[in-house]
Structure 1
Amino acid sequence: MSVAIIPLAKNLGPSLRRWRVINRVKQQALAEELKVSQSKISRWENGTSEPESPELRRLLNLLEARPETAADRALQALVMQSSHPVHLVCDLTHRLLAASPKRTRDWHIPLSDLMHKPLWRFASGGIRDAEDTLGDNGWYEPLGPDIVFDTERADFAEMTIPKSRIRITRLPLSDGRFVRLVRDDVTVAA
């Protein structure tokens, strides 16, 4: 996986801290497991330092969302069976975990060709702008809000991103890793 195209710098620290808290892992214990100093873990979490390539790969292996429990797989199944345009990605790496048939209607290649691959390379300007503001909008808080934003049409050989309003929701998996539910935001007039 090419990690250079994924916006990890802003996401890694809060994701690592949240995973540690949920799993009751102290910085020192994680540092020993990763064979780095506790102060390095602290710097990664507060964003004053970024991991080197080998360290980053170990962190991604630790933090990448992997729906493994029955509850996690049920979430995947609900997304795959949804009649709405929706997909599920790893919150940290944007790796595709599930997509509804209505979402994939704008994709020009089979879903299987994109499963477990990062979708970040298909991000429109609107998606990239929204990603840059996640931390400022409380995304990494324990009960972070949904984020709603507009995206313009973007055409790629593999898929078309239609002009739309998107709602993203951050959901924890059973093991404390996070996924992002991405759906078209349909506002119902009152």
Structure 2
Amino acid sequence: MSQTVEVLKQNLGPSVKRWRLVNRVKQEALALDLGVSQSMISRWESGRTEPEGRERSRLVRIVLARPSTAADKALLELVSASADRVHLVCDLTHRLLAVSPARAREWHAPVSALKGTSLWSFASDGIQEAEHRLDAAGWFEPHAPDIVFQTERADFTAMTIPESRVKITRVPLSDGSYARLVRAVEVAAA
């Protein structure tokens, strides 16, 4: 199974639950829309079972980050113009939405080649470990805390991930989906 599919499998249920809570959609209403039982929605959200086929595709479309309003586009512009090492990805799929020039300088591939594609294949061990701890850290709750973690250097053909402390912030988009703001955190000299 690819790493991207594994992340999607791990995070889809909690992402659906968060989407429902933010958009005030009851499990019963979502179940009716998908043609499944309310208990099936509950099992998906808790991770006891995984949605398959058509239901899985529909759920992914529901929670996929789609920055389309003027406010969302302003966020993309702010990230793209930032002097900081920062980028914005879809919270569920890690699909690149925007990147600052400072972050893009760490990459070997042009931004145009990466925009709209999942960056998960470039995740270092530290990034993967942090991803697997998101649920326990409260990431999928309505008011998630920022998460700070350490990552080691990882060299890929398309980019280099420098050794650094990373801060991720969950950012709600206008349609109830979420993006993830990824920033390098400067460590103060002792």
TM-score range, shorter chain: over 0.9
Match of 1:55? 55
2-side partners of 1:85 and 1:3: how far apart?
24
Q: Does 1:186 align with 2:186?
A: yes
Structure 1 equivalent of residue 168 of structure 2 = 168
RMSD of the alignment, in Å?
1.7
**Contact kept? 2:21, 2:142, Cα under 8 Å:** no
Give the direction of change, closer, same or farther, for the CA distance of 1:142–1:48 in structure 2 (3 Å limit). Answer: same
Distance in 1, matches of 2:36 and 2:94, equals 26
C-alpha distance after superposition, 1:101-126 (max 9, x if no partner) = 11011211111111111111100000
Structure 1 residue ranges (4+ consecutive) displaced by more than 3 angstroms after TM superposition:
2-6, 187-190
The separation in 1 between residues aligned to 2:3 and 2:26, in whole angstroms, is: 26
1:18-38 CA distance string (max 9 Å, x none): 111222222222122222222
1:96/1:128 Cα in 2 relative to 1: closer, same or farther (>3 Å)?
same
Q: Look up the match of 2:21.
A: 21
Listed as ranges, the matches of 1:37-52 within 5 Å are 37-52=37-52
SS at match of 1:97: strand
Report the residue type matching 1:139 in the other structure: W
- Secondary structure of the residue that 2:67 maps to in structure 1? coil
Q: Say if 2:16 and 2:63, in contact at 8 Å, map to a contact too.
A: yes
**Counterpart position of 2:32:** 32
Kindly provide the amino acid, as one letter, of the partner of residue 32 in structure 2.
E
Structure 1 segment 152-163 matched on structure 2, within 5 A = 152-163=152-163
Take 1:144 and 1:46, find their aligned partners in 2: how far apart are those partners? 17
Q: C-alpha distance in 2, partners of 1:135/1:22?
A: 17
Could you tell me which residue of structure 2 aligns to residue 69 of structure 1? 69
Matched letter for residue 106 of structure 2: D
Distance apart, 1:11 and its partner CA: 1.6
Letter in 1 for 2:24: R
Whole-angstrom distance in 2 between the partners of 1:125 and 1:26 = 37
Q: Secondary structure at the match of 2:179?
A: strand
> In the TM superposition, what are the counterparts of 1:87-98 in structure 2 within 5 Å?
87-98=87-98
Secondary structure class of the residue paired with 1:148: strand
Question: Which stretch of the first structure deviates more once superposed, 7-16 or 155-164?
Answer: 7-16
TM-score for both structures, normalised by structure 2? 0.93
Tell me how far 1:188 sits from its aligned partner: 4.2
User: Equivalents in 2 of 1:3, 1:173: separation in Å?
Assistant: 25
What residue ranges of structure 1 are gaps of 5+ in the alignment? none
- Please tell me the residue identity of whatever aligns with 1:64: L
More deviation, 168-177/32-41: 32-41
Q: Partner of 2:105 in structure 1?
A: 105
> CA-to-partner distance for each residue in 1:39-62, whole Å, 9 max, x for gaps?
211111111111113322211111
Residue 142 (str. 1) matches residue 142 (str. 2): yes
Work out the percentage of aligned pairs sharing the same amino acid. Answer: 60
Q: Deviations for 1:55-98, whole angstroms, at most 9, x for unmatched residues?
A: 22211111100011111111110000001110000111111100
Q: How many residues align?
A: 189
Report the Cα distance in structure 1 between the residues aligned to 2:6 and 2:67, rounded to whole angstroms. Answer: 20
